[in-house]
A and B are shown apart, each in its own frame.
Chain A
């Protein structure tokens, strides 16, 4: 890799940091509790829009893992979720009416806040429908993972996006506020993921799963990316590139081993396919604020009237992280 490329990537990173600072002005603090943050705290960053129904369980799930403080950006919600989270004692909330797409799908806002508050902290960046699972997450808090990564001098931790879906039409998977979404949708594809290496940013580009199988079988290149690096020991020099799929400096993208060994990795269970999905799909397709003008959502809406049944004969039902590790979707690696 030439010095020229790394120099260009450096410029790109700087540009995005500047852009984030500019986009940061779109944010208004609603509830700033950041003075509570202790030096060793683990932080969670998230942008949401009209997710009131999901927020209570989301916060509880990550509290149970041991996240100490939530830094949230509300993108113009009108369903009351924003007031709910503002009342939570461990949440700092910002709000904006600006366009999600214009802020690189929220990355600019979060980059701004991360630069300001996350420096030196282990930082989890997830969406409201993503649930982080790592080896031993049932017995060891996320602090243990962070300490171990520190001791191993590892700065970033990969967790592939794993779509979970119900058996039967998505509209029949009725989700109620505060409920564990995995009670409603807990099937997944265990072994149809394909990946290539991105030479420029050195990350793996992973595609596959039920969405590739059902919606993108004829245009596989368009299938959504599933590689994610959500857990990072943040430094103010860092910035995510596209959602949490890639990060700069690119050394952080090397969350995989190339000599045949397995590095430790986790999974983000992606509970997108609930009964809330169909309304969402048509709305987002219309709003066209998501990646590629909401391509993905358009594709759902067009093909299945936004009510697909993703289940197939070889779908696996989620049990725990050990099952995912045996199936080869994640790995304990060196952590025992």
Chain B
């Protein structure tokens, strides 16, 4: 009992010849189908090259076009010839010229001999497979496809659309339940001849003639009617990319293929010399009955699909440039933006860095330059601290910073005195966590000891800018985690907010705060605010400070010690 190979060839004839010789040397008869599109001279040369092999036959040539009936007709003719010419063939294996046997032919034969009644054909109902190209799964079987998908995409799409609108549906023959799967199968003589000799075959053929990509559904569907025992998997290792094109194997896949234990792999790059030299491997008694295990290969190629369709979030580069607005999150990793806290606590950044282990920058968007952590002039990735360079593309400055620094949690200070270009980005970025103590810009003005009349204009400007930011942060489009509190509320109970910030930044490593950083001296601050008001400038973002302070100099109030209860 042997295995017969039906081989479809349309290109790379020297490799196909090599493969045919492999199969024949392993004791398998081969029936070859050569695409009718191949010119006569090439065909004759190919036939002549193989004329010294006894067990090689050539079947009637069909014109094969991707997604069309020709491929099925080709395999039907070749399979029939195989069954007629070689009566002791029990399994028929469908292969192409780009299929490379990885394990010796004898191992495949033994494997199949141990499973004499099993048909290996991947076959699943349309509802259960995600790998359909063009979104057509069920509709492959119910619409008509007179136009080529490859050559006439527009007509193809329009005609499909038209049928969908009109509600056209073809009748599926009785008893046929559409199934799909890899077109590379290995069927038993019994099943295959039942399919080929079915009295209803003309009806089925007529129906499948107009199904889209019938080579992935003809045998897969009909095997369900005739087979006794279906193993729904292909013995041919074949991976597909996101468009349904087969992946190609190269020399550097040798190790992967070796470990896969698959019998046959496709497609092989015709010039992958090393692969053609290495495979098929010599027989190894220990391995003879081993089942193929393709999990590593699956992972590698699964990643490729993932990379091509989803990419690395937050990376903007020459071949990935998603529309920032429509991306789910602009940046590569969560980061924290703090506004006003460094005004309340003069030594805030170093304190926070020590507490959280995060990378805490100063004002990255300050007008003079980007204040990186530790006042470095260059940040990871070679990001320069120059203000003009940064403002030339403020949004990509941030996406680059987060991408390059994604190993650590990035945090930076922001304020109304800074360049504001990234306002909307901060609001919309789901990776951003924005904490605003509104009105804190008043503290540096207060500490400058300049009279209210002098700082009035500046205060008014900062307030206007901050107000704009708050409006953006409160807009319905804002998707960042946003927390806004007024200066008055914050100063009243800073511990709660600080603890939350630290918990969020440091994650499980966060510890309970026992001390609050040193706060700026706010004695007479309320009076300062009152002075501003008296100048006609209303600092409404600071919140309400107790007016009693504004009555004049009292003895300095000792600040409430912030005692923290046990958490």
Contacts and interface: CB of A to CB of B under 8 A. Distances in A.
Interface of A: 136, 139-141, 143-144, 147-148, 151-152, 158-160, 189-197, 204, 206, 209-210, 212-213, 216-221, 227, 255-265, 312-315, 328-336
Contacts of A314: 378-383
B403 interface: yes
Contacts, number: 171
A330 to B, nearest CB: 7
B319 A333 contact: yes
Given A192-B382, A259-B322, A151 B388 contact: no
9 contacts: A191-B380, A191-B381, A192-B384, A194-B400, A195-B321, A262-B312, A313-B378, A314-B378, A331-B311
Contacts of A227: 318
Contacts of B383: 191-192, 314
Contact of B308 (A136, A263, A315): A263
B309 interface: yes
Contact of B250 (A144, A151, A210, A217): A144
B436 interface: no
B515 interface: no
B491 interface: no
Contacts of B319: 158, 255-257, 262-265, 330-331, 333
B397 A262 contact: no
Contacts of A330: 317-319
Interface string B227-264: 00000000000010111010110111000000000000
A74 B251 CA distance: 38
A193 B301 CA distance: 29
Nearest to A188: B382
A136 B313 CA distance: 23
B323 to A, nearest CB: 6
B393 A140 contact: no
B320 A257 contact: yes
Contacts of A136: 250, 252
Nearest to B252: A139
B251 A140 contact: yes
A336 B247 contact: yes
B393 A210 contact: no
A194 B321 contact: no
B389 interface: yes
B283 to A, nearest CB: 28
Interface string B354-395: 000000000000000000000010111111101011001100
B396 interface: yes
B320 A336 contact: no
Given A261-B310, A261-B311, A195 B318 contact: yes
Which one of A221, A331, A336 has the highest number of Cβ atoms from chain B below 10 Å of its Cβ? A336
B269 interface: yes
Given A210-B382, A213-B386, A256-B318, 16 more contacts: A136-B252, A160-B317, A189-B381, A191-B404, A192-B382, A196-B393, A217-B388, A220-B388, A220-B389, A256-B321, A257-B322, A264-B319, A314-B379, A314-B383, A331-B307, A336-B300
B203 interface: no
Contacts of A328: 312, 315, 317, 403
Contacts of A261: 307-311, 320
Contacts of B315: 262, 328
Given A192-B400, A336-B300, A213 B384 contact: yes
B550 interface: no
A218 B386 contact: yes
B316 interface: yes
B303 interface: yes
Contacts of B381: 189-192, 314
B245 A152 contact: yes
B498 interface: no
Which one of A209, A264, A329, A335 has the highest number of Cβ atoms from chain B below 10 Å of its Cβ? A335
Contacts of B396: 194-195
A236 B16 CA distance: 34
B304 interface: yes
Given A189-B382, A255-B318, A334 B241 contact: yes
A162 B73 CA distance: 52
A240 B175 CA distance: 59
A326 to B, nearest CB: 10
Nearest to B386: A217
Which one of A192, A220, A258 has the highest number of Cβ atoms from chain B below 10 Å of its Cβ? A192
Nearest to A226: B318
A158 B252 CA distance: 23
Contacts of B294: none
Contacts of B245: 151-152
Nearest to B267: A151
A259 B245 CA distance: 20
B305 interface: yes
Contacts of B239: 336
Given A334-B241, A334-B242, A335-B304, A194 B320 contact: no
Nearest to A189: B382
B271 interface: yes
Nearest to B309: A261
A190 B304 CA distance: 23
B327 interface: yes
A190 B404 contact: yes
A193 B400 contact: yes
Interface in B489-510: none
A51 to B, nearest CB: 26
Contacts of A264: 319
Given A217-B388, A263-B319, A313 B376 contact: yes
Contacts of B327: 260
A332 B308 CA distance: 9
A119 B260 CA distance: 41
A140 B380 contact: no
A151 B271 CA distance: 15
B307 A332 contact: yes
B301 A336 contact: yes
A332 B301 CA distance: 11
Nearest to A334: B308
Nearest to B242: A334
Contacts of B311: 257, 260-262, 331
Nearest to B314: A328
Contacts of A255: 318-319
Nearest to B395: A194
Contact of A257 (B321, B382, B397): B321
A262 B392 contact: no
B400 A143 contact: no
Given A194-B392, A195-B396, A258 B321 contact: yes
A144 B319 CA distance: 20
B378 A336 contact: no
Nearest to A220: B392
Given A151-B245, A195-B321, A328-B315, A213 B382 contact: yes
Nearest to A255: B319
Nearest to B247: A336
Contacts of B313: 260
Given A139-B250, A193-B400, A220-B389, A206 B318 contact: yes
A213 to B, nearest CB: 5
